Amino acid sequence: MQRRPRIHDEAHLKFLRTLPCLITGENTSVEAAHIRYADPRIGKFNPGVGMKPDDFFTVPLSGEMHRIQHAVGNERKFWAQHNIDPVIYALMLYAVSGDYERGCLIVNSAM
């Protein structure tokens, strides 16, 4: 079975970088952070070692939080520590992609 190509959406990634961090609210060095773990609730599969998931599974994180997300080793544990379901937030943000005001409302609801 051949893997399908990853869905890349540079406009969405650019939009995420304009929003505050989903965890800290910091808004100066925000990066688009991919959610790598699988989530069977919505049919999200882990793309494999060294592979990024589709760009709609991303959330805005400060540079510091993004590095911590990767350093923790267990991404589910990282998000549980912050009491955030990143998959749901990623999908909500993708649904309003390009609308800064609505994106900020979604991010603020996580804090």
The DSSP-derived string for 33-102 is: EE--S-BTTTTB----TT----TTSEEEEEHHHHHHHHHHS-HHHHHHHTT--HHHHHHHHHHTTT-HHH
Query: What stretch of H or E contains 31?
Result: strand 30-34
**Residue 4 in domain:** no
Q: Tell me whether residue 72 is in a domain.
A: yes
Q: Do the domain assignments include residue 82?
A: yes
Please compute the mean of the pLDDT values over residues 24-30 and round it to a whole number: 92
Closest CA to 52 of 75, 35, 67, 66: 35
Per-residue pLDDT, averaged over 97-101, amounts to: 97
Residue 20, domain extent: 10-110
* Number of domains observed in the structure of the chain: 1
Residue 2, pLDDT score: 46
Q: Confirm whether 29 is domain-assigned.
A: yes
Inside any domain, residue 3: no
Residue 91 lies in a domain: yes
Q: Express each pLDDT in 46-75 by its tens digit.
A: 655 556 777 888 999 999 999 999 898 888
Residue 2 lies in a domain: no
CA–CA distance from 94 to each of 9, 48, 67, 103 (Å)?
10, 22, 22, 9
By mean pLDDT, which of 3-7, 32-36, 37-41, 70-74 is the weakest? 3-7
- Give domain status of residue 5, yes or no: no
pTM reported for the whole predicted model: 0.85
